[in-house]
Chain A
């Protein structure tokens, strides 16, 4: 077990107890047990959180019913896996994590109600949850008012930097800039057709994409949005055929994807020929399950994680995930980001030597995970993660082949100057 368990380490001064143990996960686990015996509850919990001598309560707040359940279930599974692994290696400061799970029901006000319940009634030390921006926007005032800590896993539009949220997914510039640079450099793309579902994330992302494309002196030949759940893409596919862009840049979400990619194929656009090439930032392995690999083959996706990543951390993670949740499961970008949440929280708590929200917040910037499935990540001052951006090439079996990854970590920049 210890081999497949990420250990955490921090780059700035650690407590002497833990010093030097970072490279050996098992030892790190023993150390945190030892440290707990020296830290009574009164010391590690000064603000009345649900922490006892042997347990600490956390919340999981995702939709397990309603339209978003299909997307959010993976995040719940990943968070539970991480928590189980943490408990198996001694918990946090010697305390086992107990989970209180609440259902957001794909309904934003319900998210706010449940978030408040978790913070006010259950006094959880941390919450892992939310998926859509709408649900995050709904709970944000609750977390800020009652001073909770939320680990939010989804790639999203940025324009936000809350002291009460750690964003474990990529914000828009991280996901977009490297992808466009790659397609311009490697594929010689000159013209782009931007598509998206009609809400804040695709619109903001396309705004950033357009500015980046225009800065390079290249051309955006079309930009269109469709309501969530839209299923008739024939007219836009015809326009694409007329305008002949080099790249279709697609940010379509949810069920609309199924219709879009099937109709694209039916209209004779074979993505494996790359004329035009399709680059998406919204289709993970989870979505391909619905779309069908045969309809998606040849497309490129720009995000930070693919299930097929060849590193050892990821192999161990995928194996553990399948062992817990079944062999047929696929793991997408957001699922992996959700898995990071409990580990990042553990590292911050151990660095702070306390469960207090304010101390965890202060300790968070600079926290590193060397054994994340996606590779090394680090928390930025702005509460987002430094991470690499990768390009995957869709296979017929629903997986992506890694074709490119950025050499350096991309800096998270939720308020990008010049892109707003």
Chain B
């Protein structure tokens, strides 16, 4: 462990405390349940952004297909919830009661065998992590073992995202098609649509996010994390030093996938449905933008980036329903032109020096200066 402290440096612990307080205390007190649920939805994208910080910021591997894993996690959760919502009693007007409604609309008369295990919550939770990880392993092994990297890897992840979207839409009898899997109601009998459930899910989501943040940080400061940075900056030297670069890349790709999938599952729980519009190319690129706006090197930046971009999206689209996309585009261009390292870069280059100066000035008279949230 570095001498600076456990997991984080002192300064980073301060940031961590601010973030935890913001998510767990300030937000729930400051906004109503409707807005809190929206923030919960934004935070599910922060999982993907954290995965991208590990993968792209840490490992230098740009994936433009993280929506695949977000979607797979979300779909696993949605399948479980859909089966629970499709009891024979609730679906008695169908030709075949007891199967999900979209299957009935597509003339399917029996639940496909690969849906069966999703009756079990335990299996579902395991699947949420393992299915996307396995998928990432297959893609990663196929690419990295052949030393495919850089822009080619990015293009291939895009292609996979497109393929998966077409597959989901085309197999609508089994997947719900373009509509997605909708009208999810209960989790083990617990109605996830009520305000109290939304509140509880928000906290579960926020705590999971904080857990994932700690996990990601522990990866970053580990020996493996330092190897990743070495690989990012000089891959051939790491290889010549005797490390199997491909395996490390596969591992970090799988880890980022699993983290994204947790976000996807929490998304399904909080929003109440899953659709292929989260799997494709556009959402995958949007998720990269969250990480870019927050700062691709900073885990905290990723979370703030996801929050800020999505909050801006909601606000702009409420105020200017016909022009908001231009406002969003302008925001991205401004951020990338002015702050190449995103919000985290702004904090590092401008806010921190400012507080350092202020701290130096006040530290003599007052022993406990309190810097405000550095946002």
Contact = CB atoms under 8 A, between A and B. Distances in A.
B183 interface: yes
Contacts of B166: 227
B170 A133 contact: no
B179 A102 contact: no
A342 B169 CA distance: 34
Given A133-B179, A198-B172, A228-B169, A65 B322 contact: yes
B326 to A, nearest CB: 9
A145 B107 CA distance: 29
Among A107, A134, A145, A157, chain B packs the most CB atoms within 10 A around the CB of: A134
Contacts of B105: 157, 159, 200, 203-204
B318 to A, nearest CB: 7
B180 interface: yes
Interface in B70-117: 93, 95, 101-102, 105-107
A116 B180 CA distance: 19
Nearest to A199: B178
Contact of A108 (B95, B277, B321): B277
A101 B278 CA distance: 25
B275 A138 contact: yes
Contacts of B325: 65, 105
Contact of A107 (B169, B185, B277, B321): B277
A102 B34 CA distance: 16
A109 B172 contact: no
B304 interface: no
Contacts of A113: 38, 41, 271, 314
Among B101, B169, B179, B314, chain A packs the most CB atoms within 10 A around the CB of: B179
A64 to B, nearest CB: 5
Q: In terms of DSSP, what is the predominant structure of the interface of chain B? A: helix
A109 B267 CA distance: 11
User: Size class of B's contact patch?
Assistant: 35 or more
Contacts of B272: 112, 141
B349 to A, nearest CB: 34
B340 interface: no
A117 B38 CA distance: 10
A227 B321 contact: no
Nearest to B316: A103
Contacts of A65: 321-322, 324-325
Contacts of A141: 182-185, 193, 272-273
Nearest to B33: A120
A132 B169 CA distance: 15
A380 interface: no
Interface string B265-307: 0000001110101100000000000000000000000000000
B317 A103 contact: yes
Given A120-B34, A198-B169, A198-B170, A105 B178 contact: no
B275 A227 contact: no
A90 to B, nearest CB: 28
Interface in A57-110: 64-65, 101-103, 105, 107-110
B273 A112 contact: yes
Contacts of A110: 317
A415 B93 contact: yes
Given A112-B273, A113-B38, A140-B182, A199 B172 contact: yes
A415 B180 CA distance: 21
A103 B322 contact: yes
A227 B180 contact: no
B165 to A, nearest CB: 10
Q: Which 7 residue pairs spanning A and B have beta carbons closest together?
A: A103-B321, A134-B179, A137-B182, A120-B34, A199-B178, A64-B322, A137-B179
Interface of A: 64-65, 101-103, 105, 107-110, 112-114, 116-117, 120-121, 132-134, 137-138, 140-141, 145, 157, 159, 198-200, 203-204, 207, 227-228, 415, 420
Given A159-B105, A227-B166, 18 more contacts: A65-B324, A105-B325, A108-B277, A109-B271, A112-B271, A113-B38, A113-B271, A117-B318, A133-B179, A137-B179, A137-B180, A137-B273, A138-B180, A199-B177, A200-B105, A203-B105, A207-B107, A228-B169
